[in-house]
Structure 1
Amino acid sequence: MKDVGSIFAESSIKMNWFEQPLDHFDKEETRTWQMKYFERHDYWRKDGPIYVFINGEGPASSIFLKTGMLYDLAKETGGAMYLSEHRYYGDSKPFANFTSENLKYLSSRQALADVANLLKYVLTIPAFKHSKVVVVGGSYAGNLAAWMKLLYPNLIDAAIASSAPVVAKADFYEYLETVSEDFEQHGTDGCWDNIAAKFKKYEKLFKTSEGIKQLKEEENICSDTDFRKDENRQLFFLDNASRYMVHAQYGSPDTIKKLCQDQKSTFAGNIDEPNVLWNEKKQCISYDFDEMIEEIRDIDWLVSWLYQTCTEFGYYQTTNSNNHPFTRNVPIELYYRPIELYYRYCSKLFGPEFDEERVEIGVIQSNKMYGGLNPNVTHVVFVNGDMDPWSKLGVLEDVSYEAPATIIPMASHCRDLFSDRKNDPEELKEARRYIRYLIKDWIGSGDYKTSG
């Protein structure tokens, strides 16, 4: 923990560590661990607010203390900035080994208590005695921002919940329905039909051994991939649908048009983590479920996130709908047989007790604890882009006058959390201005002119 006496003498971002209880709710558990967090104070002025960017399911980066919604607000209102890393992600690991026994301390409730504990410490600093507290988060961390206001209303004064899927749901078929709507609305003429034809062709080729052989040759699939296994077939359909999913979630009308113009484009080159389906030795794609599970075990953040989906949220993007072009080949249950792709992720990674019942219990408990689409909160703004597939699980109508929802036309996932760029649509810029206005109004803080 840093020396608070020198906190305001610094003009750059600092990384520090904070000791957290392993379990905030079991007093008999005395073990602790070190949580990483960042702070920046060069724009702070006397009695200025405290802004906390809550990181979600991945390593924390200090970029949001250099640019973006939180940075802009801190600069405008003379605020101090903090960014917290989520337990079990990045460097904030209570354990080196992610066994099921060690992972049992990973939950949104524990993570919220971590942020609250850090804030309680920050608020002991005399200079912050009269400071308001604003939390900001996007995607799953957008949930956390809203839920901080729910569970710790005396600690948090306002929150921005960006692209927050606050409803837990196992069979999230609406995701691909939204992808379909995006390509139908923003794609080139005939694009949706071409996607549908491609997936129907895949489905037809899978019906014969000669068709499977042809498919492997055309799609550069490893020859030893066993497509007699339903889960391997499901992986193929999910992987190919993902090429369109990522453009709906993170793209724009222009990127969707571009993909339509080049149906051979993939998203594999746009992700930081290795593609767990790619076989480097054979230079081909290996759709082998068991091999993929072993690859996943080496990617800590992905193991952590899958554990949370298996125990709290579900969020499984299935094809259980007729309102999309991707065919119905990634259901939770296939042909009423006990081959369930997403549930199998859970049981393979964490043990047989992590089954369908465990997922459903977690979903029910999460919605009961946090309130789903009707959380009992005030001074929270819920923001969604209308292109974002995750918006189907988000708050799209005002919870109340003091918990409004705003939908940004032609915007994707978490776009409001970035600073304005020259080519951003005016609707997006206006939404950002509105969000900043709400926060400043709620915390009673006007613009603070800085020389920075």
Structure 2
Amino acid sequence: MLFLCLAFVLNYLLFTNGLSFHSFGNEFEYIAREMNESLDTFDSSAVKTSWIRQPLNHFDSNDKRTWKMRYFQRHDMWKPKKPIYLFLGGEGPASPVFLKTGIMYDLAKETNGAMFASEHRYYGKSKPFDNFTTENLKFLSARQALADSARLLKLVKSMPKFRSSKVVVVGGSYSGNLAAWMKLLYPELVDAAIASSAPVLAKKDFYEYLETVSDDFEQYGTADCWDKIAEMFSRYEELFQSDTGIETLKMEENICTNCDMSKSENKELFFMEKASEFMYRAQYGNPNVIKDYCESNFTSNFRKVREPNLIFNEKNECYYYDYDEMIVSIRRIDWLTAWIYQTCTEFSYFQTGSSDNQPFTKNIPIEFYYRMCTKLFGAEFDEDRVERGVKDSNALYGGLKPNVTHVVFVNGGMDPWSKLSVLEDISYDAPAKMISQASHCRDLFSDRESDPEELKDARAYIRYLIKNWIGEGDYKNNTIWL
């Protein structure tokens, strides 16, 4: 949501002024960075940075306030009457990398298309306000962001050279939702869409996330890995039962002596951080990553090494768990504040430990997230507000059955987010594609020599669908996908 995941708040942020996390950034930025690393060289002059002025509130004509949204464009491969491709921004900075490599680039190259990449309001440099107060955040929503993208497309299509061009929107994770929803709400503007790893179903208690992580480690880990994970978390639970046990835990895990680990919210923070080590590898890894992690981290003597990317105090001398300090630190990070606001008001996606079908912990309750919403945004952002947002989102967008055509929903079998995505064909013109041993958004990348054939075939299938939907297909080869 890469991409968008509250579980990774605890393990992958870079906090300052007393509390520090190793930072991998958010999902959207993670995908962009990995794509960028796959490039050898690129002439940056081919990509132009542009700005468009957007209404602050698309749905109140009396509000005349505006702000500037950033987007990137590339036209050097375009030929007259050929398609327009728009990569929709998600919960992080927009990146020109999507115009340099990846499935959208491959499609543009094959069809002589023009490419654009938009930046989502409140992320990157597209900020309507300098301060992210609760009052200022009320204009942050998927619905407003979709209207931003529609306005951008109208501007592009108003140019004489693009008036007859077909439009394809592309997105992954949360921006994959936006791709499907653009086709839903603006069918007159969008001809086809790729919704990669898109959790289109808003859900309050997303307990299935850890269930899928559990399944991945059971299926792809070493023979005893799942049992070792269960043993490790069971021992943590046991140590928390007494003051003596907590002192032992502090010593073994190098937790700062001034951390009050008897507080339930600090205990929950500890378990969330420990579980996220496994969540990250399931979401972004592959079978070999999981197997290697099991082999390198678990031995017959229990746990071999401790991850270095955990919570430290300001002097990096010990691990520091304090829920209230975490809240203070979150407020300093604009993109994170914005994304948590969206989860509290629209989607929830709260990854809990409420399921019995996972070896990790029960100590990640949904109250962990409710508390975060109220502490960050105010008492009115409580359970009822979260539930209302989930219901409203599913009612507006259709949940797992959006009323769309010419949208392909793609998921990886290892990806925990797939549990909230479309896994069965909605119709002949809205198919679902599952890639069994792929993780989050892997279909958005260009082919690599090391990629499994199943993944390469899936990308070829996606390109085939899109090209045929916009009249650019090779109909001589229709039968290969029938």
TM-score calculated relative to the size of structure 2: 0.87
Residue of structure 2 aligned with 1:354, choices 377, 381, 386:
381
Q: 1:71-90 residue pairs with structure 2 within 5 A? A: 71-90=105-124
- Matched residue SS, 1:381: strand
Which residue matches 2:370?
343
1:283 Cα deviation after fit? 2.4
Partner Cα separation in structure 2 for residue 153 and residue 294 of structure 1: 42
Residue of structure 1 aligned with 2:455, choices 394, 413, 428:
428
Which residue matches 1:151?
185
CA contact (8 A) 1:11 1:40 kept: no
CA contact (8 A) 1:50 1:132 kept: yes
Per-residue CA deviations over 1:102-147 (Å, capped at 9, x if unaligned) read 0000000000000000000000110011100000000000000000
CA contact (8 A) 1:11 1:42 kept: no
1:112–1:268: structure 2 CA closer, same or farther, 3 Å change rule?
farther
1:267 Cα deviation after fit? 6.7
Q: 1:208-357 residue pairs with structure 2 within 5 A? A: 208-263=242-297, 269=309, 277-332=311-366, 340-357=367-384
1:262 Cα deviation after fit? 2.0
Q: 1:399-410 residue pairs with structure 2 within 5 A? A: 399-410=426-437
State the 4+ residue runs in structure 1 displaced beyond 4 angstroms. Answer: 264-269
Q: CA RMSD in A?
A: 1.2
Residue of structure 2 aligned with 1:67, choices 81, 101, 112:
101
Per-residue CA deviations over 1:366-388 (Å, capped at 9, x if unaligned) read 00000000000000000000000
- Matched residue SS, 1:285: coil
Which residue matches 1:414?
441
Per-residue CA deviations over 1:243-271 (Å, capped at 9, x if unaligned) read 000000000000001110122567765xx
Which residue matches 2:195?
161
- Matched residue SS, 1:262: helix
Amino acid at match of 2:435: I
Residue of structure 2 aligned with 1:386, choices 413, 417, 421:
413
Q: 1:133-148 residue pairs with structure 2 within 5 A? A: 133-148=167-182
CA contact (8 A) 1:77 1:446 kept: no
Amino acid at match of 1:149: K
Partner Cα separation in structure 2 for residue 231 and residue 373 of structure 1: 33
Structure 2 gap segments, 5+ residues each? 1-43, 298-303, 475-482
Give the fraction of aligned pairs with identical amino acids, expressed as a percent. Answer: 67
Per-residue CA deviations over 1:294-346 (Å, capped at 9, x if unaligned) read 111111110000000000000000001110100211121xxxxxxx2100110
Amino acid at match of 1:280: E
Count of residues in Structure 1 that have an aligned counterpart in Structure 2: 425
Which residue matches 1:102?
136
TM-score calculated relative to the size of structure 1: 0.92
- Matched residue SS, 1:410: coil
Partner Cα separation in structure 2 for residue 168 and residue 255 of structure 1: 29
Amino acid at match of 1:389: P
Residue of structure 1 aligned with 2:466, choices 417, 428, 439:
439
Partner Cα separation in structure 2 for residue 21 and residue 138 of structure 1: 25
Partner Cα separation in structure 2 for residue 230 and residue 11 of structure 1: 53
Partner Cα separation in structure 1 for residue 420 and residue 199 of structure 2: 5
Pairing 1:374–2:393 present: no
CA contact (8 A) 1:187 1:257 kept: yes
Amino acid at match of 2:317: Q
Partner Cα separation in structure 1 for residue 110 and residue 258 of structure 2: 59
